Structure 1
Amino acid sequence: MVVNQGSADQADRLFHALADATRREIVTLTLAGEHSVSDLASRFPMSFAAVQKHVAVLERAGLITKQRQGREQRVRGNADALREVHRLLDQLEAVWRGRIDRIGAILADRNSGDSKEQAHDRDRRPEEP
């Protein structure tokens, strides 16, 4: 898996943003429909400013988009960003599956080698009367 610095930085932003339960809930809500920041703030046991900070992290990661409508800031989830998260996780899974497969092959070779050695030792032992 070849990763350039730009995509690594984006992956860091995405996973950092999704590491927090409140931010994951905001993403879920905004994927289901557009919400004002005020509406989102009313759903969480924290200050409006704290929710604004969560929204800013999500916006920097590209997981949501924010648009001003009059006095309100409207927030909408970005499904494309979640597809990118899915793609990154698929890449990581492929790396680990490859490693697990290689470990399995090494163990299988080792076990078949042990069986051959055991058979060879058995053939060399003198028979008991």
Structure 2
Amino acid sequence: MTAPDRRHEQRYGGPLVGRRTSRVLIALAAAVFLGIVGYVGVQAASTPVRHEVLAYQHLADDVIAVDFQVTMDPGTEAVCRVQALNKGRAQVGFLETTIPAQESRRSTHHVEISTQGEAVSAEIIDCSPR
């Protein structure tokens, strides 16, 4: 140790955690972080059915049309739940639709939802394999 280091140590005290302990803690934190990132990545990649709203269109005050894309393994059948929302984000319409088995991974679908009030947007709640 040099003289200024000793003076600092005498004035402020030594390190709370030793050098070896700090390295072990950093390595442990990095391993936990990488484990969490790996777990989240595997979960995202193994989602059997993915969905995305492409567009929605107001057909009337009480009807909204939704175009959406579903990505799933060929030959899989799915059920999608779609909702229409008003200005306050309250649900004013709901539809559960069956997506038949497709030959390709991606397919586009169109549904029309009857609403109990004016809808300003629509979203897919979820899609799950049947």
Mark yes or no: TM-score above 0.5: no
Structure of higher RCO (CA pairs closer than 8 Å, 6+ residues apart): 2
Q: Which has the higher strand share?
A: 2
**Could you tell me the TM-score, scaled by structure 2's length?**
0.30
Pick the structure with more helix per residue: 1
TM-score (normalizing by structure 1): 0.30
